[in-house]
Amino acid sequence: MDVLIVIDMLNDFIHGALKTDEALKTVGPASRVVEIFHNKNLPVIYACDSHNKYDFEMKLWGEHAMKNSWGSKIIDELKLNPGDFIIEKHFYSAFHDTNLDAILNYLNAGRLFLIGLDADICVRHTTADAFYLGYETIIIKDAVAARIDKNWEDYYKRVYGSKIITLNDLEESIKN
């Protein structure tokens, strides 16, 4: 079964402390991707920064997506369904110190579709961990944005064997 993982589509990444123009452009496509997975009745997992002031990242990025703050809330533009999974994370990877692996195991997940922010930071570290666990990863490029490494696509293909697709290709790519 295909599973969607939505990474850090949070107020601070799109409208607040860490916002970028590129991130804003992902909102429309990301909403559509979520809708497509919902329509096909496939699992949607939101992996969300939920920091406290002791997290290692604070030194590098300053305060962002602090637990219980507006900045750590999923943006209103994404429509959550009852039963969607929400994972709080403290590190770049959605697997690090979370129960994501356990959720994927009991869902009997097949391929992982990834969207969100940033293509070269949290999405990339999540993809790396997914690769170590043997998952095939598919990135929907309209629904991710990169912050530092704008040439992220080649890296994903060569290092993780990821497939990079567009939103237009999505519906025919998904398997129930």
Q: Report if residue 12 touches Zn ion, rule: CB under 5 A.
A: no
Nearest CB to Zn ion, comparing residues 2 and 120: 120
Region near Zn ion per CB under 5 A, out of 20-28, 54-62, 70-78, 127-135: 54-62
Nearest CB to Zn ion, comparing residues 62 and 83: 62
Per CB under 5 A, contacts with Zn ion among 144-173 are: none
3-state DSSP call for residue 66? Answer: strand
Nearest CB to Zn ion, comparing residues 49 and 120: 49
Per CB under 5 A, contacts with Zn ion among 68-127 are: none
Closest contact distance (angstroms) between CB of 51 and Zn ion is 6
63-79: buried (b, 16+ CB within 10 Å) or exposed (e) per residue? ebbbeebebbebbeebe
3-state DSSP call for residue 145? Answer: strand
- DSSP per-residue string spanning 1-60: --EEEEE--BHHHHTSTT--HHHHHTHHHHHHHHHHHHHTT--EEEEEE-B-TTSTTHHH
Closest contact distance (angstroms) between CB of 126 and Zn ion is 12
Long-range contacts of 54-60 (CB under 8 A, 24+ apart): 55/90, 55/91, 56/91, 57/90, 57/91, 57/92
Closest contact distance (angstroms) between CB of 94 and Zn ion is 11
Q: Report if residue 63 touches Zn ion, rule: CB under 5 A.
A: no
Residue from 12, 30, 34, 49 in contact with Zn ion (CB under 5 A): 49
Residue from 35, 57, 136, 153 in contact with Zn ion (CB under 5 A): 57
Nearest CB to Zn ion, comparing residues 35 and 91: 91
Cα angle, residue 171 at apex, residues 145 and 169 outer, rounded to 5°:
55
Nearest CB to Zn ion, comparing residues 47 and 140: 47
**Contact set with Zn ion (CB under 5 A):** 49, 57
